[in-house]
Amino acid sequence: EVDLTQSPATLSLSPGERATLSCRASQNVNSYLAWYQQRPGQAPRLLIHDVSSRATGIPARFSGSGSGTDFTLTISSLEPEDAAFYYCQQRSKWPRTFGQGTRLEIK
Amino acid sequence: QVQLQESGPGLVKPSETLSLTCTVSGDSMRNYYWTWTRQSPGTGLEFLGYISYSGRANYMPSLKRRATISVDTSKNQFSLKLYYVTAADTAVYYCGASIEARWLDFWGQGMVVTVSS
C-alpha cells in the first residue's frame, strides 16, 4: 500500500499570501496524484488531478506540481474561502490511498 | 452535472450489515464509474471501491470480502453493503462518480453511519 505523508499538518496564513502544501509518497506514483479540498461540513471536492491539471471550475490560483514521490499544491494568493482541509490521493497502486490532510487556516 | 444522494440507516448494530444506497441524477449512469469512500477521525479518508455501469466491481483489500457494491441502472441507484460491521466501521460514507475510474470527480453530501448496540 502506498503511504502518502502530507506536511505541514496545519498552516496558518493571511489573505493574499501564498500557501505551499506538500505530499510525499512512500513509492513512485508517477503522475497519478490528485488534490482534494474539504471545507467544514462539506464533502471533499476534486481540485487538481494528474499532478497539475485543474478540475472543472477550479480557480487559476490553485496549481499542482511534482513527480515520482514529491508533490506540491500551491495556492498563489489566499482567499478567505480557501480555509479547508486539503488531501492528496494516489491511484498508481491499488488500493487507492489518501494522505492524512493539511489544515489551512486563514487568519 | 451529476448529483448524488446517499440514503440508509444511520445506526447499525455490531455484527450486522450496513446498507447504503446512492441515488444518481443529472446525467446518465453510463458516463461514470460509481464509488464509495468513507471518512472517520481515526483512519481519515478511505476509498472503499467502485463499480462500472455494467456491474464490474473492485474493492479495497482491507475490507476482506466484507463488502458488496451493486448497481441498479433502472432505478439510477447503486449500493454498498458492508457485512459484520464493528465500531471501526463508524464513519461518514460518501458515494461518488468517477470519470473512467480515474479520480473522484463528484461526491454526495455524505451520510453518518454509527455502529453501536
pLDDT for residue A84: 98
Q: Residue A48 — φ and ψ, nearest 5°?
A: -135, 135
Residue-wise pLDDT for A21-68, tens only, equals 999 999 999 999 999 999 999 999 999 999 999 999 999 999 999 999
Closest residue to B107, CB basis, from A44, A49, A87:
A44
Say yes or no for a CB contact (<8 Å) between B45 and A55. Answer: no
> Are the Cβ atoms of A94 and B58 closer than 8 angstroms?
yes
| pLDDT value, residue B113 | 98
Question: In the predicted model, what is the mean pLDDT of chain A?
Answer: 97
Residue B42: the pLDDT is: 86
Q: Which residues of chain B have pLDDT under 70?
A: none
Grid coordinates representing A21 are 502544501
Q: Answer yes or no: is pLDDT of A76 > 90.
A: yes
Task: Encode pLDDT of A36-47 as tens digits.
Answer: 999 999 999 999
CB A43 within 8 A of CB B108: yes
Predicted confidence at residue B62, as pLDDT, reads 86
CA distance A54 to A38: 16
How many CB atoms are closer than 10 A to CB B72? 12
**Subunit contact A43:B62, Cβ cutoff 8 A:** no
Gyration radius of chain A's alpha carbons: 13
The chain A residue lying nearest B98, using CA atoms, is: A46
CA distance B49 to chain A (A): 9
